[in-house]
Amino acid sequence: MSDPRTNEPSEETRARVDALLEQDRLTLDEAPAPLVDAIWEQVAEETVDHKTNLRERLRQLASPARIAIASFAMIGIGASFLAMSGLRPDLDAGSTAWLATVHAIVLLGSVGGLALALRPNHLPPLNLLAWLGVGSVLLMPIAIALVPGLLPGMTGHPPTVAHVMCAANGLFMALPATAVVLLLDRSRNPASWRVLLAAGAAGMSAFGMGAWHCPSVDPFHLIVAHAGLGAVLGLVVLGVVRLWGWVRG
């Protein structure tokens, strides 16, 4: 803040204050003392006296660490749900192995979506590739749900309450995971594709986890209550993020 030899503000600090005063066309030496004192306090709060919060500390982590934290959180939330709700009892050894294979592919897709969503801002923009990633994480669960026999389970039509319960379970898994990803994002106002990727990856993970709990493979149920969650959640979260950015200015 100041030169210890002269007890005067350093050149760097004076330059910062002069920049703050520029809108009033004043220099540090010309400004009134109360105004200068207030600006010193503001500069101190933003520099040497600033205390980093949790989000700032997380955002300062290297990108591989941020991606790993988001991935473990996403998987941990889903695993916790399954531990509380229990696995479906209709799976035999063969269907368990097949479901595990499909789930592994889905999980790789969700982690890849997280990695893309948390891509460092200083790298060149992805443009089309970013939106291809968004389309993949949002549409892959729907494509899986539409392939007959791909997921093992019961083909009967479940009751309406089952749609509501499975959608609520998916939201329970996907919403906290989306919040973790956005907490780790370094952007002040994240791009739309980042928000949609975060929610889509979390929704894809919830889709994979839900298949271990819900035995229904009815296409309507899978799309409405399982596969479509990422797209719906992504649009809702994007709206909330944009509204918050507008309120915050």
Residue 210: burial class (beta carbons within 10 Å; 0-12, 13-18, 19+): buried
160 shares its domain with 189: yes
Same domain, 179 and 243: yes
Cα–Cα distances in Å, from 126 out to 71, 95, 133, 182, 184?
A: 22, 39, 10, 19, 19
My answer on whether 88 and 28 are in the same domain is: no
* 233 inside domain: yes
Q: What pLDDT is attached to residue 219?
A: 93
By the 8 A CB rule, do 224 and 100 touch? no
For the ranges 18-27, 71-80, 150-159, 165-174, which has the lowest average pLDDT?
18-27
pLDDT at 24: 57
Same domain assignment for residues 68 and 42: no
Would you give the DSSP letter of residue 32?
Answer: -
End-to-end CA distance of the chain: 29
Does 126 or 200 have the greater pLDDT score? 200
Q: What's the predicted TM-score (pTM) here?
A: 0.77
Domain-embedded: residue 51: no
DSSP label of 154:
B
Domain of 130 in residue numbering reads as 56-248
pLDDT > 90? residue 142: yes
Looking up tokens 């915050």 gives: 248
Looking at the domain assignment, is residue 189 inside a domain?
yes
pLDDT band, very low/low/confident/very high, at 110 (cuts 50, 70, 90)? very high
Longest alpha-carbon distance in the chain: 83
In this prediction, residue 198 carries a pLDDT of 95
At residue 86 the predicted structure's pLDDT band, cuts being 50, 70 and 90, is confident
Do 185 and 232 belong together in one domain?
yes
Tell me, yes or no, whether 42 and 71 share the same domain: no
Domain assignment of residue 243, yes or no: yes
Question: What are the pLDDT digits (tens) for 199-215?
Answer: 999 999 999 999 999 99
87 and 178 co-located in one domain: yes
Query: Which of the listed ranges 4-18, 55-69, 172-186, 235-249 does the model predict with the highest average pLDDT?
Result: 172-186
Give residue 201's pLDDT.
96
Q: Per the structure, how many domains does the chain have? A: 2
For 243, the token pair is 């509204």
Residue 121: per-residue pLDDT: 82
- Examine the domain organization and report whether 30 and 82 are in the same domain: no
Q: Which residues contact 222 (CB under 8 A, 6 or more apart)?
A: 145, 151, 216
165 and 207 belong to one structural domain:
yes
Do 17 and 124 sit in the same domain of this protein?
no
Cα dihedral value 118, 211, 161, 233, nearest 10: 10
Band of residue 126 on the pLDDT scale cut at 50, 70, 90: confident
**193 lies in the same domain as 105:** yes
